[in-house]
Chain A
């Protein structure tokens, strides 16, 4: 069974059709990518899946359950976690506080016990704290920066903290919006390794939007290609890469064979 499924989603802003009957799915335990040129609707799709946008038609299914009518906090509680294209950390808080906020969705402590910091509140806090230390902070190798305010960190580390915060939610499906955008080669390799490790050790399904074709080809099992709000191709990375439609979407109209040759830098290609 597909872990996350989007069926015939259509989304319009006024006269602009952002998504047109988009259907994609993410297999349980797999890494699935959504790629496409700028403005193809990738982030709109993410926002619709996490519940920020209300699509005009279509549905979103998590674990075989229709979650189309649920608000974002409910979807988060059901195990849908995400990161943002432009890092959305709580600036002004420390790394640790940011990560602990990810666990917020799982805590159930009420006002009075929190006020006195009594039994349940303290136990819950300690339990979550330990789990975060072990499974998130050590795992993502951000032990040394835990007390630092997030705003002071370099970009690559901020992205990693955002991933840590999403993991603290103990997600079933992890959605990453351009996890390596703007990173240098070394940071990209680190992030790719972390994503593979997350899949191994956390038993989550990963769905990501990414521009970096190298990374997509290396770590993804399945790729969907969006262009102008429509899915134009889907399949294994190698298949998608060879698809003439996809090449045209990325490189413009023209004879596919010529374009392919031009990419390879062959002489004689106009």
Chain B
């Protein structure tokens, strides 16, 4: 069963943030022992993360716990989607829910912003690539009508 820390992750960016927080907590333990971690949880970590850690580490060795979290974070695969706009949190949730519902294992979304694609999305996962952007549609259409366009341009120039 996955920790809630892992379960709540939706994007690759969130993984990196959590990884930094875990590293910070591990450092606190290393420097001041497990007793020192409470200060870090209060001052340096997001509320939902702190609460989840407190809940999940009541009878668990903190070092082992953090090690497991890091290993789990390394195993998570990501689906890359390139968008022509910057989506809201709600949109991201909807995209994540759709993709996760069809994947057997935990995944996260890697969100990329590229206004050049004009609209639609470019998806990349596990070495596979699909371009559903408007740019691709325009380029394909242009290839088919290239000669006609050049003729038109030539006539327009004259």
Q: Do A and B make up one complex? A: no
Partner-B contacts on A (CB < 8 A):
none
